[in-house]
A and B are shown apart, each in its own frame.
Chain A
Amino acid sequence: MDEPLLLRNGTMKRVMNIHPGTVGKVLLGMLPFILTIIVYLWASGVRLEANPNDKLMPSLTTIGAAIERLAFEPSKRTGDYELWSDTTASLQRLTLGVLIAALIGLLIGILNGAIPLVRANLSPYITILSLIPPMAILPILFIVFGLGELSKVMLIVIGITPFIMRDLQARTLELPAEQLIKAQTLGASTWQVMVRVIIPQILPRLIQAVRLSLGPAWLFLIAAEAIAAEQGLGYRIFLVRRYLSMDVILPYVVWITVLAFLADWLLRQISYRAFPWFHSQLQDKS
């Protein structure tokens, strides 16, 4: 703790006014992770002692062996390094799906936000469409697009595009009217207002929207892979579920979490580098 906890008269500060220092922050942040691992190791030890063949909570050695088999030894069946081929397959689907969703969301969101005629035309339709639970139409996607890559990418696209569209429409409508009027007094046409005033200001907000959609995107990816796939992180987890292979499932879940974290971190870094004005604006408000 960097600051004194006690006031000059000897009483303690209100809890809401006590801020951890830099080191304190890191330690406090690490604590839940460390506790989780300790609790797991303890519980796993207790179970394995009672039954050495217990599969539910494998020991670190068993998990390590599984990781080595999946990541560093070619599969006997296919000759692939399974962890890496699963990761590439999943990331390809995810990236493609999110990219397509971002592009459609940007285009429709901005048009809806900026052009009243388009908004009157499309906004009610999109509001209704976005209420359809994407998982409910997954069978339709499999029927229409087959069991290949396309249907998995489509599920992600259908799952997150409505949110991005509606979010960007709202963000576009939030741009101060003064700016749009000012641009017109500078002689800008509708098109020029879009390319020089609206799009550059919406791009950092698109990154924000994509960051928020990554969670659902993973959900749809794993769901689609669980039902029909030949490789992929979600496929593997659901495949080995039959053998109760927690030694594979657990590291896969951790790996997916790491990937999700990295994707989010990367997007945040891009946004900070590319749109410094946007982030200092946010700081002004907070």
Chain B
Amino acid sequence: MSFIEVNDIWKTYGDNVVLERVKTNVHAGEFITIVGASGCGKTTFLKMLLGTEYPTRGKILLNGKPIPQEPSEDRGIVFQKYSVFPHLTALQNLVLTIELEQSRWLAHLFGSAYRLADEQAREMLAMVGLQHAANQYPHELSGGMQQRLAIAQALMKQPKVLLLDEPFGALDPGIRADMHELILKIWNQTKINVFMITHDLKEGFYLGTRLWVIDKIRHDAQAPNAYGATITYDIPVGQCDNSTLNEIDQSLEHSRKEHAA
């Protein structure tokens, strides 16, 4: 049985069809990168996996059960920004995840329970390379460090699925390379299912085990919203040569122009 089954889902807002006939299966441990022109519905798809948007038609199954229609612990998320809590230090951001689990009403731990949580949190900080920044607030951290913290925070709950919505979009190229290394290390260690949206096709090829391109197949020049996008390419990365890369690049460029027109 597949880990995630996407059964012919559609997403429409009134007459505006965003996604149509999206069908696919995902096995445990796959690292899927998703590319597509902006506004093509890739974020909508990610939000459906997250549980903040619901398919208009069709179903998404997680482990054979309909995916919960609100965010929950089994699906971690890292957004491009605002992913960590500004009023807590790096360490407190991680300790919080344990406090939420163990202290239902106060949501605070004390004494030995706190020390244990503190230890766990410091281990996680060290894993993402932030041990020296434990007592700093997010605004004192660079963009890359904030995203490291956001990833660490999501991993504290050991989710089955990690959703990344253009997590490195705002970072400098050099920092981005460091982040790629980190995310691959984490994926290798945990074999967690990763869905990552990216603008950068090369990044998609470098990171994933499987690349999806979300785009429209059918176009109607008179009614640009009449048809939705779907998965147009679903390629196992690694079995892919430069000509395919160019082909996808051109098709994306084409729909980008159409979008602009």
Asked if B81 and A184 make an inter-chain contact with CB atoms under 8 angstroms apart, the answer reads no
Let me know if B87 and A278 touch, CB within 8 A: yes
Q: Which residue of B lies closest to A180 (CB)?
A: B71
Contact of B77 among A185, A276, A281, A284 (CB under 8 A): A185
Give the residue of A197, A275, A276 whose beta carbon is less than 8 angstroms from that of B85. Answer: A197
With A176-B82, A181-B52 in contact, do A277 and B87 touch (Cβ < 8 Å)? Answer: yes
Query: In whole angstroms, what is the CA distance A183 to B79 when docked?
Result: 12
- Judged by a CB distance under 8 angstroms, whether A127 is at the interface is no
B100 with A187: CB separation less than 8 A:
yes
CB pair A185–B73 under 8 Å, yes or no, is: yes
Known A188-B100, A201-B87: A277·B139 in contact at CB below 8 Å = yes
Compute the total of residue contacts between A and B using a CB distance below 8 Å.
83
B153 interfacial by beta-carbon distance below 8 Å = yes
The docked-state distance in angstroms from the alpha carbon of A281 to that of B87 is 10
How far does the Cβ of B30 sit from chain A's closest Cβ, in whole Å?
A: 20
Q: Could you tell me if A181 and B85 are in contact, using CB atoms closer than 8 angstroms?
A: no
B179 partner residues in chain A, CB cutoff 8 A: none
A105 to B43, CA, bound (A): 37
A78 at interface, CB cutoff 8 A: no
Contact of B101 among A183, A187, A275, A284 (CB under 8 A): A187
Name A147-188 residues within 8 Å CB distance of B.
176, 178-179, 181-188
Whole-angstrom CA separation of A179 from B73 in the bound complex: 14
What residue of chain B has the Cβ atom nearest to residue A277's Cβ? B137
Q: In the complex, which of the residues A181, A182, A275 has the most CB atoms of chain B within 10 Å of its own CB atom?
A: A182
Give chain A residues whose Cβ lies under 8 Å from the Cβ of B84: 182
- Mark interface residues in B64-92 (1 if CB within 8 Å of A CB, else 0): 00000011110111010111111100000
Please tell me if the beta carbons of B157 and A185 are within 8 angstroms of each other in the complex. yes
A25 within 8 A of partner (CB) = no
A194 nearest CB neighbor, chain B only: B107
Among B76, B87, B96, B100, the one with the most A-chain Cβ atoms within 10 Å of its Cβ is B87
Distance in Å: Cβ of A156 to nearest Cβ of chain B:
30
Does B105 sit at the interface, judged by CB under 8 A? yes
- A280: contacting residue among B50, B77, B79, B137, CB under 8 A: B137
Instruction: Give the interface centre of A179, A195, A276, A280 by most chain B CB atoms within 10 Å.
Output: A179
B117 located at the interface, meaning its Cβ lies under 8 Å from any Cβ of chain A in the complex = no
B140 to chain A, nearest CB (A): 8
Q: For A203, give the chain B residue with the smallest CB separation.
A: B87
Tell me, rounded to whole Å, the shortest Cβ–Cβ distance linking A218 to chain B.
31
With an 8 A cutoff between CB atoms, is A20 at the interface? Answer: no
Contacting pair A201 B75 (CB below 8 A): no
CB-CB < 8 A to A197: which residues of B?
85
Given the interface pairs A185-B159, A186-B73, the reply to whether A281 lies near B104 with Cβ below 8 Å is no
Q: Smallest CB–CB gap between B91 and chain A, Å?
A: 14
Q: State the Cβ distance, A173 to closest chain B Cβ, in Å.
A: 14
- Docked Cα-Cα span, A187 to B153, in Å, equals 12
Are B100 and A182 interface neighbours, CB within 8 A?
no
Partner of A186, one of B87, B140, B156: B156
Which bracket fits the contact residues of B? Answer: 35 or more
A280 touches B139 (CB 8 A): yes
The answer to whether A178 touches B105, judged by C-beta atoms less than 8 angstroms apart, is no
Q: How far is the CB of B68 from chain A (nearest CB, A)?
A: 10
Question: Knowing A182-B153, A192-B100 touch, does A275 contact B79 (C-beta < 8 A)?
Answer: no
- Write out the residue numbers on chain B whose beta carbons fall within 8 Å of the beta carbon of A284: 139
Known: A178-B81, A187-B157. A200 touches B100 (CB 8 A): no
Complex CA gap A203/B237 in Å reads 49
Shortest beta-carbon distance, A204 to chain B, in Å?
9
In the complex, whether B209 has a CB less than 8 A from a CB of chain A is no
- Bound together, the chains give a CA A23 to CA B207 distance in angstroms of 58
Q: CB < 8 Å: which of A179, A181, A185, A191 contacts B105?
A: A191
Contacts of A182 in B (CB 8 A): 77, 79, 82-85, 150, 153-154
In the complex formed, the residue of A with least CB distance to B165 is: A178
Q: Which of B71, B138, B154 has the most CB of A within 10 A?
A: B71
Question: Residue A196 at the B interface, CB < 8 A?
Answer: yes
Contact of A196 among B75, B79, B100 (CB under 8 A): B100
Give the CA-CA distance A195 to B87 in the complex, in Å: 12
Choose among B81, B139, B154 the residue that contacts A185 (Cβ–Cβ < 8 A).
B154
| B139 and A195 within 8 A (CB) | no
A92 at the interface (CB under 8 A from B): no
Which residue of chain A has the shortest Cβ distance to B96 in the bound complex? A196
Q: 18 A-B pairs, CB-CB below 8 angstroms?
A: A178-B82, A181-B50, A181-B71, A182-B82, A183-B85, A185-B72, A185-B76, A185-B77, A185-B159, A186-B153, A186-B154, A187-B72, A187-B73, A188-B107, A196-B107, A277-B139, A278-B86, A278-B87
Which A-B residue pairs are the 10 nearest by beta carbons?
A: A176-B82, A184-B71, A178-B82, A187-B73, A277-B137, A178-B79, A192-B107, A185-B71, A196-B107, A186-B97
Given A178-B81, A184-B72, A280-B137, 8 more pairs with CB closer than 8 A: A181-B77, A182-B153, A185-B50, A185-B157, A186-B153, A191-B105, A196-B96, A196-B99
